[in-house]
Chain A
Amino acid sequence: MRRRRFLGYLLAAPTLAVAAEIGGAAVDPDTAEGAIPSPPEPADTYDLSDALTDAAMPTANLITVQVNPDGTASFALPRAEVGQGITTAIGMLIAEELDLPLSKVTVTLADARPELLFNQLTGGSNTIHAMYQPVRTAAAIARARLLATAAAQWGVPVSSLSVKNGVIRSGNGKTASYGSLARAAASDTVRPVTVTPKPESAFTLVGTPQNRVDAHDIVTGKKKFTLDLAVPNAKPTMVCRPPTINGTVRAVRNLAQVRAMPGITDVAVVSTGVAVRGETFGQCIDAVRALQVTWGPGSVDGESDDTVLDKLKAATPPPAVPPVLTKSIDAEFVFAFASNSALETNCAIADVRKDRAEIWSGLKSPITTQEQIAKMLGLPVSAVTVHVTQGGGSFGRKLFGDAALEAAEISHKIGKPVKLMWHRTDDFRHGRAHPMSYSRIRVNYSGANVVSYEQRHASSATDFSHGLGEILTATSAKLPVGELGFSETVFTLSQSVPYNFGATTQTLTEVPLKFHTGSMRNVYSPNVVCARELVVDQLAAKMSQDPVAFRRSFFKDDRFRAVLDKLAQVGQWGRSMPKGTAQGVGFHHEYKSCSAVLVEIDCRPETVNREVRDGVTGPRVTKAVMVVDVGRPINPRGLQAQMMGCISDGIGLALTESLHIADGLPLEGSWDNFFYTRQWNTPTEMQIVVMPTTTGDPGGAGELGVASSLAAVACAYARATGTMPTRFPINHGTLGFDPLPRVPPIPQSPTDGLKYAF
């Protein structure tokens, strides 16, 4: 097969600058992709990755690689880096194509670029999928141009030249560095050119394990996050928030008194509460706690865990396929609210002037935020500059510009720059969360055949208003899912059953409650897949089959089988385990990738009841093994890191991590309330196996392993205890802490820290 050529551009610039189009198709129509196949199951053929990638197609948007006179190449990535390692992976693609050391490639984060339309959204594990081709095309053009420039200068044919580490060498021993040619290679007009990127078989860097490019800055404290930036006069700012979600300010009874507190410069009522600005965050905390506010009701004051669950159950349609001449399994599962709180709380810097605004924040959807801020301030979009900063984690949280919008409102109101930080307690109670869901499954089977599989998933509504909606609306004509609503579209595109289970349906019902919600890492999949995999284990048991052998025999795809086989071998599936401990497996495919997880869990009383001060213990996952196939791994080490994070998430979601909603507010207010996995619940053995290139197409990876990990832990727990868990996390029924008060909304910092020095 001929290798495909791609279109790109030489840009008019003082140094060599080249560009390619996101979503740009190959030039040769012979090798263009075929038409989109039709259902039965949309996600099998055309999934969310495709929808997000295709959304880019019609827009004339360019990404630019520049070669600088100092010999480095630079690229402003129109995506967010929130820990997923995307700057490293993209840097590798550029370094590979240019034959330049990775250390000479600088990848920064682009400001909001409204002309990119749908192309600046970091979500759905889509970045590599969407950026792979354009980034390689641009870098390949740069390399070709540099070679052509050297060839012309030396009067030799390009074919006589070679490149190593950014130095071009001629057959007769002449050398020139990229840096020395960068200006000469620059173009003075914009010119379309075509190029054939390096064949993937010639990759020497891509596909090899590389460390994060920002690792040194991280371990020396130099990496700058939003709150670390020194923007002139952007003083610490916090908000006093209501005792229930979306409560509003009726009156502030001591405004003047709080304004006069030491260090406080401003106090102002805003749409989300009462903002205070001061010299230090410590003084802002004092002021927030001192404020006496009369609050109006919020949007979900009457809601608690039980009322929400009742509504979900009532909204779930019953299974449609009656068990006729078959046996069946009916099961139902409940998954509590969970916070996608990152360690960096919601934060943003805003400097709003009469005629312009400048914003700094970790944003995965910066164009939407920019548009919202422009609208709120009555400014043209072009007058709002949005800088995307390095994010301290996201897990879906940074899809929304909540802090950026709030900071802009406050800065606008008080007429001064602000550095807004949410308090941790607020971040849990008023920050977005993954909504509660309820999953009902019916499987009909006969002998060794599964005749039908039905899963009715109901969820308190997930907010997708960050702009993903626009994307899918824009491409809906191309989607093989017809007239579905937006959430249903995401659900349909992301969910598909990997097993040949006869007539298969999975549906989503959303109950519109006014909680603050948003996608959490892996969106619907963790809960949907956990429920499914537990039922798969039940089915295997009914048919007297081993869980791994059962999955193997029902898989639709050899790729899945290969991953599971590898897992069973590496994880020593079936080894004998003491009573009260067990292995469990979970499998998930999505984003054109798949992963299988095997865990060993210890549910013996001496483990479950071990004590940690102010901490939750419970069963311990002692070992976790994951095998992952992403089609083509770009940076296997980065991928392993992400998968380890997915395992931590899965353990937490299965065993310990949830929000308890009571009278319109989550009770959790600290990390000792919201029990995300801690060191004492971390497996002491862990191994991630990255499958070598399979499809050749780089699939998504960032979220892939959450669902399989959660499912594996749940299945292991069921096998260790002999009881299938149906409510998650399993400890949700007991509140393991004393809730912090609602008023004042945030607790004072302790003063006894020295007592705990070690």
Chain B
Amino acid sequence: MSQHTFILNGQRVTVEAPDDLRLLWVLRDLLGVTGPKYGCGLDVCKACTCHINGKAFNPCSVPVSQIKPTDEITTIEGLADRQTGALHPMQQAWLDHDVAQCGYCQPGQIMAAIAKVRQARTEGREISDADLDELRNICRCGTYFRIREAVRSAAAKM
């Protein structure tokens, strides 16, 4: 057991946890942040997708000891504007396209989609079908097509 400090949704947190405990369980079991979901624990399903310093990653596959005190972890709960509460354009697009079915995969889908759009931007292009094909997140309810539509319309507003 040792202490781990990082920035979670804009707030500095310190938590006592074994070094090798994966961050997902630190978030869910120790800190009670349940937006990121468990779907495999294998870095496959992507239901747990969060952001680290703005990049999408899967906390089920990162020991908490790899997180630095300066690292900013954002979960779905921390995505809306912290001052105004306004939804992120990606969240709004999810509502506009009524993307969700059961909703279990959707926090991870939204976090991954935002990073995908940013990645394309960094590479100097707009999101394409080929980029969307790279999203690995499982949706067992099969909302994939609406996800594609929502990502495109959110990208226009990001």
- Using CB atoms and an 8 Å cutoff, list the residues of chain A in contact with chain B: 82-85, 211-212, 214-225, 227-228, 230, 236, 262-263, 279-283, 285, 341-345, 390-393, 395, 421, 423-424, 612, 614-615, 637, 641-642, 644-649, 670-672, 676-680, 682-684, 686, 747, 749-754, 756-758
Residue on A with the closest CB to B97?
A211
Give B22 Cβ to nearest chain A Cβ, in Å: 5
Question: Which residues of chain B have C-beta atoms less than 8 A from A281's C-beta?
Answer: 25, 28-29, 38, 41
Chain B, range 1-55, C-beta contacts under 8 Å to A:
1, 17-18, 20-22, 24-26, 28-30, 32, 34-45, 47, 52, 55
B60 touches A753 (CB 8 A): yes
B142 touches A679 (CB 8 A): no
Give A314 Cβ to nearest chain B Cβ, in Å: 34
The answer for the CA separation of A570 and B71 in the assembled complex, in Å, is 51
Give B44 Cβ to nearest chain A Cβ, in Å: 5
Selected contact of A753 from candidates B45, B62, B101, B148, CB within 8 Å: B62
Question: Which residues of chain A have C-beta atoms less than 8 A from B77's C-beta?
Answer: 220-222
A670 touches B42 (CB 8 A): yes
- Residue picked from B17, B39, B136, B142, most chain A C-beta under 10 Å: B142
Q: List 25 A-B contacts (CB under 8 A).
A: A212-B98, A212-B100, A220-B35, A220-B80, A221-B34, A221-B75, A223-B103, A225-B104, A236-B29, A280-B26, A282-B22, A344-B37, A391-B102, A393-B101, A424-B45, A615-B136, A644-B146, A678-B136, A682-B144, A749-B42, A751-B62, A753-B57, A756-B43, A757-B52, A757-B55
Which 8 A-B residue pairs are closest in the complex by CB-CB distance?
A83-B102, A648-B142, A221-B35, A392-B104, A753-B61, A218-B103, A645-B142, A221-B76
Give B70 Cβ to nearest chain A Cβ, in Å: 14
Selected contact of B45 from candidates A211, A343, A752, CB within 8 Å: A343
Selected contact of B146 from candidates A221, A225, A392, A641, CB within 8 Å: A641
Residue on A with the closest CB to B36?
A221
A219 touches B42 (CB 8 A): no
A671 touches B39 (CB 8 A): yes
B42 touches A758 (CB 8 A): no
B37 touches A220 (CB 8 A): no
Residue on A with the closest CB to B63?
A751
Given contacts A220-B76, A423-B41, A645-B142, contact A753 B58 (CB under 8 A): yes
A644 touches B95 (CB 8 A): no
Question: Which residues of chain B have C-beta atoms less than 8 A from A637's C-beta?
Answer: 98
The answer for the CA separation of A343 and B45 in the assembled complex, in Å, is 8
User: What class of interface size applies to chain B in its complex with A?
Assistant: 35 or more
Question: Which residues of chain B have C-beta atoms less than 8 A from A82's C-beta?
Answer: 102
Question: Which residues of chain B have C-beta atoms less than 8 A from A211's C-beta?
Answer: 95, 98
Residue on A with the closest CB to B47?
A343
Given contacts A219-B87, A285-B41, contact A280 B29 (CB under 8 A): yes
B144 touches A679 (CB 8 A): yes
The answer for the CA separation of A236 and B34 in the assembled complex, in Å, is 14
The answer for the CA separation of A684 and B151 in the assembled complex, in Å, is 13
Give B96 Cβ to nearest chain A Cβ, in Å: 9
The answer for the CA separation of A536 and B103 in the assembled complex, in Å, is 38
Question: Which residues of chain A have C-beta atoms less than 8 A from B22's C-beta?
Answer: 282, 749
Question: Which residues of chain A have C-beta atoms less than 8 A from B115's C-beta?
Answer: 758
The answer for the CA separation of A84 and B140 in the assembled complex, in Å, is 12
A676 touches B63 (CB 8 A): no
Give A648 Cβ to nearest chain B Cβ, in Å: 3
Give B73 Cβ to nearest chain A Cβ, in Å: 12
Question: Which residues of chain B have C-beta atoms less than 8 A from A678's C-beta?
Answer: 136, 138, 144
B38 touches A220 (CB 8 A): no
A345 touches B61 (CB 8 A): no
Question: Which residues of chain B have C-beta atoms less than 8 A from A671's C-beta?
Answer: 39-40, 44-45, 138
Give A397 Cβ to nearest chain B Cβ, in Å: 10
Given contacts A395-B140, A750-B61, contact A683 B145 (CB under 8 A): yes
Residue on B with the closest CB to A262?
B18
A83 touches B30 (CB 8 A): no
Given contacts A648-B142, A683-B145, contact A344 B100 (CB under 8 A): no
Selected contact of B52 from candidates A285, A424, A686, A754, CB within 8 Å: A754
A648 touches B144 (CB 8 A): yes
Give B84 Cβ to nearest chain A Cβ, in Å: 14
A282 touches B40 (CB 8 A): no
Give B114 Cβ to nearest chain A Cβ, in Å: 11
The answer for the CA separation of A648 and B141 in the assembled complex, in Å, is 8
Question: Which residues of chain B have C-beta atoms less than 8 A from A645's C-beta?
Answer: 101, 141-143
Give B89 Cβ to nearest chain A Cβ, in Å: 11
Residue on A with the closest CB to B52?
A757
- Residue picked from B30, B41, B76, B146, most chain A C-beta under 10 Å: B41
The answer for the CA separation of A641 and B98 in the assembled complex, in Å, is 8
Residue on A with the closest CB to B92?
A219
Report if B110 contacts A (CB, 8 A): yes
The answer for the CA separation of A756 and B59 in the assembled complex, in Å, is 11
A218 touches B140 (CB 8 A): no
Question: Which residues of chain A have C-beta atoms less than 8 A from B134's C-beta?
Answer: 679-680
Question: Which residues of chain B have C-beta atoms less than 8 A from A686's C-beta?
Answer: 145
Residue on A with the closest CB to B30?
A280
A215 touches B61 (CB 8 A): no
Given contacts A343-B45, A424-B40, contact A677 B25 (CB under 8 A): no
Report if B158 contacts A (CB, 8 A): no
